[in-house]
Amino acid sequence: MADASRVADRAAEQADIRWGKALERASPSISDTVQRTFKQWNTILRDYLRSETALRLTTGGDSQSVPVKVVGGMPRPFAEVLRQFEGLEWLLLNRRAVEAATSGTRFIEQYMDSAQEAWGDELGLQM
């Protein structure tokens, strides 16, 4: 059982690395953006949760704070789900670009005759 757990841990770690690299390629400096967002919204979200839930960590006159920090990686169950998309990280993280390419291709296909009339063979479209 321990071997299976180690294999699952290694697979999750590899998924972390693979997705981390893919995220950085798709959105350079995403790590900085996450840290900046955390710093910007941490206090606001804590205050909101405290007022909505009325949860406070107090004992007598003492109050405790709960440290929150952002760490790299992803939860193991999430990494296990993402394993089914192994090798497709680039495609999933660049979905907008793929959709734009699809839209552009359909547009050119629809107006190919007009485009060839305007630019002739310089357009380089052949179907």
Question: Dihedral of CA 22/24/28/33: which sign?
Answer: positive
pLDDT digits (tens, 9 = 90+) for 33-65: 999 999 999 989 888 888 888 877 777 778 777
Pair (101, 53) in one structural domain? no
- On whether both 66 and 99 belong to a single domain, the answer is no
Asked if residue 124 and residue 99 are part of one domain, the reply reads yes
Cα 91 to Cα 89: distance, rounded to the nearest angstrom: 5
In angstroms, the CA 85 to CA 75 distance is: 16
Say whether both 42 and 75 belong to one domain: yes
pLDDT in tens, 56-113: 777 777 877 778 888 888 888 888 888 888 888 888 888 899 999 999 999 988 988 8
What are the φ and ψ backbone dihedral angles of 57, each rounded to 5 degrees?
Answer: -100, 85
Task: State whether 59 and 110 are in the same domain.
Answer: no
Domain span at residue 13?
A: 2-86
**30 and 71 part of one domain:** yes
pTM here is: 0.55
**Shared-domain flag, residues 46 and 66:** yes
In the chain the beta strands, taken as DSSP E runs, fall at: 58-59, 62-63
Mark whether 122 and 82 lie in a shared domain: no
Question: Quick one: 61 and 22 in the same domain?
Answer: yes
Could you tell me if 76 and 8 are in contact, meaning their C-beta atoms sit under 8 angstroms apart?
Answer: yes
